[in-house]
């Protein structure tokens, strides 16, 4: 199975000037754990995750004044839609993250998460372990 089969194609994109509170509200409303951060004048495409917001709040920073750009991961490992789920899982395990931004030639095409991979793998594994009666 390929990343394109598992990824979420509805990508929440936010700008670097959003506050963390606004980013968190958008992520919560969409029920996603990560957002692509598009900064055409700066670093290009980055990612903000729920962990980034949690770390900031845990440090006592004010989510109403903290800006997304200060918490965005910009050295992102991107996946291609044609990667296998195994390749995505290896990249996640190696990098220690739970989300990959999926890029095609036009920019962000989706986000694949550990949850997406598990959702795809579990039914396949269960089917392969069923014993004929």
DSSP state string for 75-124: SPPEEPTTSBHHHHHHHHHHHT-SEEEEEETTEEEEEEEHHHHHHHHHHH
| Domain 3-128 bears CATH identifier 3.40.50.410 | no
Per-residue pLDDT at 94 exceeds 70: yes
CA 119 – CA 133 distance, rounded (Å): 26
Per-residue pLDDT at 128 exceeds 70: no
pLDDT tens digits along 29-48: 999 999 999 887 776 789 99
Q: What is the pTM of this model?
A: 0.81
Placement of tokens 């903290």 in the chain: 66
The phi-psi region of residue 125 (left if phi > 0; otherwise alpha if psi is between -120 and 50; otherwise beta) is alpha
Per-residue pLDDT at 106 exceeds 80: no
pLDDT at 92: 95
Residue 132: pLDDT band by 50, 70, 90 thresholds? Answer: low
Residue range 18-26: average pLDDT?
98
pLDDT at 61: 98
Residue range 101-124: average pLDDT?
88
Contact 89, 113 (CB under 8 A): no
Per-residue pLDDT at 55 exceeds 70: yes
């Amino acid at each position: 199975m390929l990343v394109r089969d598992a990824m979420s194609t509805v990508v929440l994109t936010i700008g670097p000037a959003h506050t963390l509170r606004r980013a968190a509200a958008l992520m919560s409303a969409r029920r996603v754990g990560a957002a692509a951060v598009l900064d055409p004048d700066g670093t290009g495409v980055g990612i903000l995750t729920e962990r980034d917001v949690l770390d900031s709040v845990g440090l006592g920073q004010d989510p109403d004044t903290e800006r997304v750009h200060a918490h965005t991961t910009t050295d992102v490992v991107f996946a291609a839609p044609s990667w296998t789920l195994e390749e995505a899982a290896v990249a996640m395990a190696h990098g220690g993250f739970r989300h990959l931004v999926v890029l095609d030639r036009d920019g962000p095409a989706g986000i694949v998460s550990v949850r997406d991979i598990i959702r795809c793998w579990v039914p396949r594994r269960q089917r392969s372990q069923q014993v004929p009666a």
